Each structure stands twice: as structure tokens, then as C-alpha cells.
Structure 1
Amino acid sequence: MDSWITVLLVLLPTGVAFWLARETSRLRERLRRLSRTAQSKQKQYQKIETHHEDEADLRQRTEEKLRSYLQLMDTLINTIPNPIFFKDIDGVFRGCNQAFAREIVGLTRDRIIGCKAGDLGPQIPEELVACLKRNGVHSATFEAEIPCADGRRRDFLFTTATVVGEGSEKAGSVGAMMDLTEKNRAARERAQKEKFQGVLETAGAVCHELNQPLQVISGYAELMMVDLSEGDKHYGLAEQILEQVERIADITGKLQKITRYKTVDYGRHAKIFDIHQSSDD
């Protein structure tokens, strides 16, 4: 019995030492695995952090480019002398250039953006509001005479185009205005000059064709008066003929001196050429 106890006392430290050595080895292996896992996770976290930093930097650069692009576009539309405006699908103004705000509406851009045409205030003429509402978000081209911010009435060509958003759905419209006032005035003046030229040519032809018959009629009337006594009733008729001949000669004289185009009302809905106001005589 004593010998077994002696053996146990000898072997026990050896077994404990072996167990401790084995557990220590296992713990060390687990620590190495945990260390490798931690290093791998740390690298992943570093990659994620680097990716987030890259994304943030890219986002910042993109926002800066977008701000620069928007500033460029704003500068471009404000450089264009033609009034330009943008509306969404509900008819709310989402943008405009200085020409539209200052010359057409007479308000600041901040006051216009975010409002509908009918909500800009009572100082905006109804004619202008109607033109800005016309055709909604549909593409269209039309001319209209509208009162501007300076109180003058001017002719404009309105051109609107539909803005298409995602899914090919209508997102709003963009409109541009072209001042046709001077062009239309020049066209009217050109048409008046063409009419005046036609009047001059007609007047010249009429005078040429009337002069010879008038001379013949005048000659015969004078011969009649030579052969008739003043008491004869036909003598008075010859005098009246001469008076009317002189009147016609006066009219043809004025026709030959026409220098401007003037008309006068004739009846309810007609106008005729006014010979007396159109000549220098």
C-alpha cells in the first residue's frame, strides 16, 4: 500500500505538469487564432473605414462639382437676354433668370420661385398671368402682347417645352420669351410703305389716264361757251362742266403730290385713302 502511495506521489506532479502544459498549449493556440482573427477584422475595419473616407471624399468632390455646375448654369441663363422660366408639374416656378424677374414680372427671383403665376400678387397683370399659365406643361409656341414691368406693352413669342423626368413622366416645363416688338413694328412699317408705294403707282396711273380726257372735255366746254350767249341755259351747263373739270384737275394735282399714307373712316367698317391729308398741297 505504501508503495502505491509512493508511486502516486511521484506520478501526480508529472501528470499535473503534463495537463498544465497541454492546456497552456491549447490556450496559446486559441490566442494565436484570436490574434489572427483580430488582425483580419482590423484589416477589414481599416478597409471599410478607408472606403467610407473615399466615399465621403468622392461625395464632397461631387457636391463641389454640382455646386460649380449649378453656378455655371445660373450664370449662363442670367447672361441670356431673353426671359427664361422653369415650372414644375403643378405650375410652380422652380427657376428663372434675371431678365424674366426684372423686365417681365418686376419681382426678385426669390419672390417668384416657389409661387404659381396667379400667386405672385395683384400687381401682376392678368394678361401676363394668363400667358404664363397657358398650355400648362405642354410644348407650345404662341405670340402675345403683354404689359411688362416698366408699364410698356410689348409683343413676345412664347416657346414652352415639356421637361421629362424619370419613367418618361412629365416633370414640368421650361419657357423662353423673345421680344418681337421691334420686328413687328418694322413689319408694319414695311407693309405700310408697300401700301403707300401701291397708292403712289395707282395715283400716277390715274392722273395720267385722266389728264387727256379732262383736257378734251375742258376744250369742248370752252368752245360751247364761245358759241353761246351768257343768257343761254346751255352756257350755265358749260360753266358747271368747267368747274367740275377744274375740281377733278385739283384732285389729280393732289394725287401727284402725295407724300404720306393717311386713311379716313368710310362707313362702319371700312377705311379709304385720304387724299387731302396725304398730300403737301
Structure 2
Amino acid sequence: MTVFLWIAIAVFLLAAGWGLHLLRLQNRKIRKLKRSLLEAHHKTHQQQETHTESLTHWEQTEEKLRGFLQLMDTLLNTIPNPIYYKDSQGVYQGCNKVFAKQVLGLTRDRIIGKRPQELTDAMPADLAAVYQREEHIMLEKADFHTFEAPVQCADGQRRDFLFSLAPVLDREGQVDGSVAVLADLTEKNRAARHRIQKEKLEGVLETAGAVCHELNQPLQAISGYTELMAMKLDGHEARPYIDKLTTQIERMRDITDKLQGVTRYETKDYAGNTKIIDLNKASTTEKIIR
């Protein structure tokens, strides 16, 4: 074999070795690329699964929240007390049907997003000012606050309500609005006034009975002596005075009759800020005391 042949063989072997080496490097790159692709695919699959799980969880959470809001709305509309809540600017953000229908006489969509001052047709300005002042007190205290005030209801009547206000706080603990629950005290207040009137009437009846009992005997004695004096002084110049005395005695009898006929508690002004029993109105006796 010639030298050139050996050189050619050597070159061929070197070229073959180098080609084999390059092939191996290429195979390694391909395997590395396949592993990277597999890892990327695996990560993508995991991300898709995580996204699917997150989406499912979000949908479940959204459904639970929707159900909770529905429950709260049902609860608010089941409570017989009027309820409303406002944001920090005093704008209605929600209310139950009792407040909307019975108090304001409006649908909820006409209330939400409005201030009381914008609902003057349903809420008189003087009452709106009272509510705003009391709500301002609650916001300053940032604590539970109650007050009693009249409410112009949808039927045109003003009824007494107890307002129970509570602040609504945001995540930082700052006041973000308020919620109010109203309790109708009209019948309770009416019953209380009736009870007070009854107690006062009982006191008047007890006093009237005692006065009549204590006055009747001396009044009868005075009347008897007056009649005797009238008979003995018939034609005397003092007789006109006896007649006037008799008139006053009759007036006193009318007063005791009135006292015995008292059936209700009625008063009238007397001497400034003092009040006394108005016998003409309080008694069922027809004679009028002058």
C-alpha cells in the first residue's frame, strides 16, 4: 500500500470519527431538547390543571357568594322591621321591601343610589334633616347609636320609630357606611300614654272622692244654717246677702257634683305654666262650672 492510501484511510477514519462525534453531540442535543419539551409540556399540563382547578374553585366560590347574597336578601325581606344601609356619603345602597314599600312607598330600584334629600316626595325635608343629624352623630362616635323619631309612612301617617344605627367598617377599620333597623313604637307609645292618662285619672278620682267626702258634711251644715238664717231674716236688709250666700253654696254643690262625675283626665292652663283639672271637660255632669 502506498503512503497516499494510508493517508486517505487515516483522513477517512478521522472524518468518520469526527462525524460520529458530531452525530453523538446532535443526539445529545436532541435528547436534551426532548427532555425540555417534555418538561415544558408537563409544566403546561400542570398549569392547565391548576387553572382548571382555580376556575372551578372560582366558579364554586362565585356560586356560594351568589347563594349567600340571595340568602341575605331573603333574610332581609323576611324580617318585619324596616332596614336600610348607606355608604359613607349617605347614599342608599340597599334596603328591604318593608322599608321600601311601607315606609317610602317606592320600589327598591328607585331608592338605591339616592340620598334622602332626593326623595322629598316620599320623605319630608324636616324628617330627612333629623335622620341625617342622628346619622352624623353615629358616624362621629363610630359606634352603635339609637334615637326615636317620627316617620312619614307611605299611608300618610306619621308613626313613632326607634332607629338602631350601626357603622359599617372597611378593611382598615374606617367607617364606610351605616346600617339601620327600625322598630315601630307607635302602639307601645300610645299604650304608654294611655297608661299614664289612666294613672293620672285614678289620682284625680281618688282626690275628687276625698274632696267630696270631706266637703259634703260641712257643706250640708252651712246650707242648713243658711236656710234657717234666710227664714229668720225674711224682709231684713241682710236677706240679699243670705241669698248670695245660698247661690255660692249651690255653686259649691255643682262643683262637688262635677268632681263626682269625673270620668277622664282633661286639663287647662292656669296661672302661667300651671295646669289644673278642667272639670267641664273631665266630668260627665252637664252643669257648667263658671
Same fold (TM over 0.5): yes
Equivalent residues in 2 for 1:67-216, closer than 5 Å:
67-134=66-133, 135-136=135-136, 137-138=139-140, 139=143, 140-216=145-221
Q: In 2, Cα distance between the equivalents of 1:45 and 1:202?
A: 97
Q: In 1, Cα distance between the equivalents of 2:277 and 2:260?
A: 14
Structure 2 residue 257 is matched with structure 1 residue 253: yes
Deviates more, 1:43-52 or 1:242-251: 242-251
Q: In 2, Cα distance between the equivalents of 1:220 and 1:36?
A: 136
TM-score relative to the length of structure 2: 0.88
Deviates more, 1:164-173 or 1:17-26: 17-26
Q: In 2, Cα distance between the equivalents of 1:225 and 1:169?
A: 90
Tell me if the contact between 1:127 and 1:147 (Cα under 8 Å) persists in the aligned partners. no
Tell me if the contact between 1:127 and 1:146 (Cα under 8 Å) persists in the aligned partners. no
Equivalent residues in 2 for 1:231-246, closer than 5 Å:
231-246=235-250
TM-score relative to the length of structure 1: 0.91
**1:68 CA drift (Å):** 0.6
Q: In 2, Cα distance between the equivalents of 1:122 and 1:77?
A: 25
Deviates more, 1:61-70 or 1:24-33: 24-33
**1:51 CA drift (Å):** 1.0
Shift of the 251–153 alpha-carbon distance from structure 1 to 2, 3 Å rule, reads same
CA-based RMSD of the aligned residues comes to 2.0
Identify the residue that residue 273 of structure 1 maps to in structure 2. 277
Identify the residue that residue 17 of structure 2 maps to in structure 1. 18
Tell me if the contact between 2:123 and 2:152 (Cα under 8 Å) persists in the aligned partners. no
How many residues matched? 279
Identify the residue that residue 288 of structure 2 maps to in structure 1. none
**1:270 CA drift (Å):** 5.0
SS in 2 for 1:101: helix
Tell me if the contact between 2:76 and 2:83 (Cα under 8 Å) persists in the aligned partners. yes
Q: In 2, Cα distance between the equivalents of 1:121 and 1:209?
A: 60
Tell me if the contact between 2:105 and 2:122 (Cα under 8 Å) persists in the aligned partners. no
**1:32 CA drift (Å):** 1.3
Q: In 2, Cα distance between the equivalents of 1:30 and 1:240?
A: 140
Q: In 1, Cα distance between the equivalents of 2:84 and 2:261?
A: 52
Tell me if the contact between 2:167 and 2:175 (Cα under 8 Å) persists in the aligned partners. yes
- Identical-residue share of aligned pairs (%): 46
Q: In 1, Cα distance between the equivalents of 2:91 and 2:163?
A: 18
Identify the residue that residue 36 of structure 2 maps to in structure 1. 37
SS in 1 for 2:238: helix
Deviates more, 1:190-199 or 1:127-136: 127-136
**1:128 CA drift (Å):** 3.1
Q: In 2, Cα distance between the equivalents of 1:121 and 1:210?
A: 60
